[in-house]
Amino acid sequence: MNKPLRRIAIFCGLLVLALLIRDNWLQYAQADKLRTDPDNRRVAIERYASPRGDIIVDGNPITGSVETKAGDYKYKRTYKNGPMWAPVTGYSSQAFGGTQLEKINDGILTGNDDRLFFRNTLDMITGKPKQGGNVVTTLNAAAQKAAYNGLKAQGGKGAAVAIEPSTGKILALASYPSYDPSSFSGDRNSDSAAWQKLQKKIDPTDPTLNRALRETYPPGSTFKVVTAAAALENGLYSSADQKTDSPLPWVMPGTQTELKNEGNLPCQNATMREALRVSCNTVFGKIGADLGKDKMLDEAKKFGFDAEQFVPVRANASVFSKEMNQSQTALSSIGQFNTAATPLQMAMVASAVANDGKLMKPYMVDELQSSNLDPIEKTEPQELSRPLSAQNAQILQSMMETVVKSGTGTKALIDGATVGGKTGTAQHG
């Protein structure tokens, strides 16, 4: 080969090598970046080319998919009783993305999860269209309906959470006001108006806010359950019926301010049972001050305070302050000062007491399934902590039963059932 031909051959070889390097760079190193590029419509078109898998409650789907009448995307998401289930499902929208279970389990629902590779390969061989898998929840439809309708009848803003104490399964998770995710599941041209109406600047009630998981409130007197647990666990008092050292009036340490009770209550040296029954601020405020912030903080953390929870949707961390003086500790111990809790958190407190002191990790996804209902992943109950001993939990159970039988919580009485509880109000602001 003469010199000019050799140079041309080397140059062509270098061009081929450069092409191979570039091709491999795009195929492997840049694959994820290109796949997630917002300008890459092929990925989005493929994503909506087949019906999405379903979110299941009590064996029945609470979601669905319908064919769209226009645009590149063939299917869009639908929801049954959307406002009731929105705090559980979140939304999946062609224009506005996804949230909550819809987003967390997107790979399963679209059929793109790596764990569905074998199922997808079989379907491809047999000529079946690609299908998404299902998300089976722990929710109970009757409990959810009761929670949502109760909040709706009450009006205003609120949330409700019910947990199975022995497992941590979330049976109800409702938030009000709510929204219908179906109203903006399509493309931007058709659904922008519905989306804008839900924004907080337009609707101050902020209906898309999941108040059960993402909003913290002063727990008020419901926090006295945690304070009573701390008193029992630290040996300050050993029984529900032991007289407490609780003068009346009681001036908070380091101040000249009396801690007031709500009315003329029999709180002077009251037993913890009586103090919880009528909700004595002075008794539980003094317990908190006597124990000190470190012991109170330790007990609050055992119940889940100061840590985010993942159910698997993220729940905001509830707050019990680390830095406080004695009077601030007293206020925090009756659910005031900086103490703040999600409704999920206070359901966790009640469930730990009901479960003889064992706090189970809350969760609302029982199982992930392939399109032919084969199990992919199963959630097993998991112990989160032991906030109090079985003996002390049973003492606290009896105290909470007294609250419902003859105290501030008599509206919670149910014929034929043993009910324990604690009412609570708080100044907010």
Nearest to 348 by CA among 225, 217, 143, 168: 168
Q: Are 298 and 356 within one domain?
A: yes
Nearest to 389 by CA among 164, 238, 223, 224: 238
Other C-beta atoms within 10 Å of 314: how many?
Answer: 14
pTM of the complete model:
0.89
Other C-beta atoms within 10 Å of 232: how many?
Answer: 23
User: What is the residue whose two structure tokens read 């199982």?
Assistant: 367
Q: How high is the pLDDT of residue 381?
A: 98
Q: Is 166 a catalytic residue?
A: no
- Which of residues 213, 229, 263 is at a domain's end? 213
Distance CA 418, CA 192 (A): 49
Q: Are 402 and 287 within one domain?
A: yes
Q: Is 407 a member of any domain?
A: yes
Q: Is 16 a member of any domain?
A: no
Q: Is 25 left (phi over 0), alpha (psi -120 to 50) or beta?
A: alpha
Other C-beta atoms within 10 Å of 20: how many?
Answer: 10
Judge whether 332 and 208 are in contact, CB under 8 Å. no
Judge whether 248 and 214 are in contact, CB under 8 Å. no
* Sign of the C-alpha dihedral computed for residues 282, 285, 287 and 289 taken in this order: negative
Tell me, what DSSP letter sits at residue 127? T
Distance CA 315, CA 302 (A): 17
Q: Is 13 a member of any domain?
A: no
Q: How high is the pLDDT of residue 32?
A: 67
Q: Are 244 and 144 within one domain?
A: no
Q: Are 176 and 227 within one domain?
A: no
Other C-beta atoms within 10 Å of 251: how many?
Answer: 13
Q: Among residues 221, 246, 327, 370, which one is catalytic?
A: 221
Judge whether 144 and 84 are in contact, CB under 8 Å. yes
Q: What is the CATH number of the domain that holds 140?
A: 3.90.1310.10
User: What is the residue whose two structure tokens read 């801690």?
Assistant: 259
Distance CA 65, CA 75 (A): 6
Number of structural domains, the chain?
2
Q: Are 207 and 220 within one domain?
A: no
Q: Is 136 a member of any domain?
A: yes
Q: How high is the pLDDT of residue 117?
A: 74
Q: Return per-residue pLDDT of the chain as tens, 429 residues.
A: 577 777 787 888 888 888 888 877 767 776 667 666 666 777 777 778 889 999 999 999 999 999 988 778 889 999 999 999 999 999 999 999 999 999 999 999 999 888 887 777 776 777 777 788 999 999 999 999 999 999 999 989 999 999 999 999 999 999 999 999 999 999 888 889 999 999 999 999 999 999 999 999 999 999 999 999 999 999 999 999 999 999 999 999 999 999 999 999 999 999 999 999 999 999 999 999 999 999 999 999 999 999 999 999 999 999 999 999 999 999 999 999 999 999 999 999 999 999 999 999 999 999 999 988 889 999 999 999 999 999 999 999 999 999 999 999 999 999 999 999 999 987 665
Q: Are 115 and 254 within one domain?
A: no
Q: Are 229 and 153 within one domain?
A: no
Judge whether 62 and 71 are in contact, CB under 8 Å. no
Per the structure, the complete domain to which residue 267 belongs is given by 216-362+388-412
Q: How high is the pLDDT of residue 10?
A: 80
Q: Is 162 a member of any domain?
A: yes
Paired tokens of 136: 């089976």
Q: Are 294 and 268 within one domain?
A: yes
Paired tokens of 240: 């529900």
Q: Are 112 and 160 within one domain?
A: yes
Q: Are 197 and 345 within one domain?
A: no
User: What is the residue whose two structure tokens read 């009770």?
Assistant: 261
Q: How high is the pLDDT of residue 187?
A: 87
**Which residues 6+ apart lie within 8 Å of 203 measured at CB?**
197
Q: Are 206 and 220 within one domain?
A: no
How far from chain centre, in Å, is Cα 418?
27
- Strands of 164-224 (E only): list them: 170-176
